Amino acid sequence: MILVQGKGVSNGVGVGPLYYYRRKSHSIVRSSITDPEAEWARFKAAQATAIEQLGDLAEKARADAGDEAALLFETHQMLAEDMDFEDAIKDQIFEEKLNSEAVVTDVAAQFAEMFASMDDAYMQARAADVKDVSGRIIKILSGDDGDEGIASDVPVILAADDLAPSETVQMDKSKILGFVTAGGSGSSHTAILARTMGIPAIIGVGDALKPEYEGREVIVDGGTGEVVIDADELTRSTMMKKREEQLRLKRLLETLKGQENVTKDGQKMMVYCNIGSPDDVPAVKVNDGGGIGLFRSEFLYLSVDDYPSEDMQFEAYRNVLSAMEGKRVIIRTLDIGADKQVDYFQMEKEENPAMGLRALRICLTRPEVFRTQLRALYRASAYGKLAIMFPMVTSVWEVRECKRACKAVMNELAAEGIPYADNVELGVMIETPAAAFMSDRLAQEVDFFSVGTNDLTQYTLACDRQCNNLGKFYDPHHPAVLRAIKMAADNAHKYGKWIGICGELGADLEMTETFLAIGIDELSVSPSAVLPLRNAIRMIDAGAVRPGILAKLEGSVE
């Protein structure tokens, strides 16, 4: 048995023979030309065919994996006719009198290098898109009808050095049981497509998978990142059991898509998703998330090595809002500090960073950082249904300062003639005991609450969430935590506001009855937890369990 460890980027267990993806090598013939006009026309014809093919691929992707996947090929269409790209090709054809195949190869290499050298991880990943689009044009120019792919009659686990998005989507999915790539990144479109199509995928195995393994049985676990070749009996039966269980659950849950999150006795719950980047949106859609309940915006700050600009943030927020097509998107303002340290903020070292200058405290002491983010958020608000929430709130004055900062940004944008929505909901996270105790006052200041149970547990029980030897002392089910949630819920409802839960506890199915009994209006969970949660909600008779749960909560003793 050979065990190879990679990074799982799309969940699920797949088993089948290992197959290496075969790419035809397109050796480019470089030749001089005498008639640049004719060569330019030849390029334009190939470009038009590529654009047409990409349109067909967009439609195929839309049918297989939804609008977000289709958008990728629509973006490729735009790249294929990008003016700078086209101008550079024209100049070289006319100046260097070289054939189009050679010119497209050279120009694409320059553009790919330019993208690859950018600081922003998203832009770096675009280098692969340029190579993908230019490869298509070159193939057309060389009269290659391209029959590369999977020459196997049986479904396989597909191994490759890396896969371009167009390669991924064009493959016959009925032949693919899993992907394993030597390189790749979790935010690459190939990883996104694999997640969206529900195919297990593992990236970054390096050169551990040898071509001589082809044909041998391999089991991949896209959850753990394990690739096992010729598994021994025990490993095989354990992984196959896991696979069976996942498939059974998946079949059951698929039937729940499009259904309401409603209890047997008619109590509704909004089930939203937690995301860390625009790349997570397809998973939200595939899993039927009703909205985004927590976009951890700090991941944008963590992925770069200098302050993200207003434009960069605006683009990320706008992408999420447009992709969610009018469904509510709650973006949390910057929550760094504690475990999420960002060097360029140059924060002073603290003895107790979880209780230090973090999250909203940084925003309120560095107004320029806050203003940049709020401007990006309000600019993006014109593209969907935005709600903004503030983390680590303890006092009413903090919320008032936030509201003043929002107002100032709206005034600036209005003066600059930049559109924004004037109905952006503002909310606070309930993740400190102070916020729970002050929830009657806070409810009068904002539109909604969202309970961060990870931190609320930490601060209520004085248990460091990072500390791994606290065991049962860090107990999110502790009655003190549940009472704090109930207090916040009662106060929210008293003032006609709604309350959600976006900490990990929201997906804990043991707690679903309790949250329904308390009257929680929204649960925000990871995309893969949406359907299991819907399933649980639909099996509960909330009215019947409420009295017992509330009595226990009021009178609970440890």
Residues in contact with Mg ion by the rule CB under 5 A: 431, 452, 455
Contact window for ligand PEP (CB under 6 A) among 116-124, 145-153, 243-251, 451-459: 451-459
Decide: is 452 part of the binding site for ligand PEP (CB under 6 A): yes
Answer for which of 39, 101, 445, 455 binds ligand PEP (CB under 6 A) is: 455
Q: Which is nearer to ligand PEP, 66 or 276 (CB)?
A: 276
Length of the chain: 558
Residue-by-residue DSSP string for 311-379 = HHHHHHHHHHHHHTTTSEEEEE----BTTB--GGG-PPP-S-GGGSS-THHHHHH-HHHHHHHHHHHHH
Q: Which is nearer to ligand PEP, 296 or 385 (CB)?
A: 296
CB 11 to Mg ion: min, Å: 24
Q: Which is nearer to ligand PEP, 222 or 293 (CB)?
A: 293
CB 298 to ligand PEP: min, Å: 8
Answer for which of 296, 318, 379, 486 binds ligand PEP (CB under 6 A) is: 296
Contact window for ligand PEP (CB under 6 A) among 17-25, 260-268, 446-454, 536-544: 446-454
Q: Which residues pair with 523 in a beta bridge?
A: 271, 501
CB 409 to Mg ion: min, Å: 24
Measure the CA–CA gap between 451 and 491, rounded to whole angstroms. 13
Decide: is 436 part of the binding site for ligand PEP (CB under 6 A): no
Q: Which residues 6+ apart lie within 8 Å of 529 measured at CB?
A: 507
What does 513 interact with, of Mg ion, ligand PEP, none (CB < 5 to 8 A by kind)? Answer: none
- Note whether 357 and 337 are within 8 A (CB): yes
Measure the CA–CA gap between 489 and 71, rounded to whole angstroms. 40
What does 89 interact with, of ligand PEP, Mg ion, none (CB < 5 to 8 A by kind)? Answer: none
Contact window for ligand PEP (CB under 6 A) among 151-159, 360-368, 448-456, 507-515: 448-456
- In what side-by-side order are the strands of the sheet with 13-20? 2-5, 226-229, 217-221, 13-20, 156-160, 176-181, 201-203, 7-10
Residues 502-521 that bind ligand PEP (CB under 6 A): 502-503
Q: Which is nearer to ligand PEP, 318 or 358 (CB)?
A: 358
Q: Which residues are marked as active site?
A: 189, 502
| SS3 label, residue 148 | coil
Residues 333-372 that bind ligand PEP (CB under 6 A): 335
Q: Which is nearer to Mg ion, 132 or 455 (CB)?
A: 455
**Contacts within 8 Å (CB) and 24+ apart, 46-50:** 46/100, 46/137, 46/140, 46/141, 47/80, 47/81, 47/86, 47/137, 49/140, 50/80, 50/133, 50/136, 50/137, 50/140
CB 280 to ligand PEP: min, Å: 14
CB 541 to ligand PEP: min, Å: 28
CB 455 to ligand PEP: min, Å: 3
What is the number of other CB atoms lying within 10 angstroms of the CB of residue 425? 17
Q: Which residues 6+ apart lie within 8 Å of 37 measured at CB?
A: none
Site residues (vs ligand PEP, CB under 6 A): 294, 296, 335, 431, 452-455, 502-503
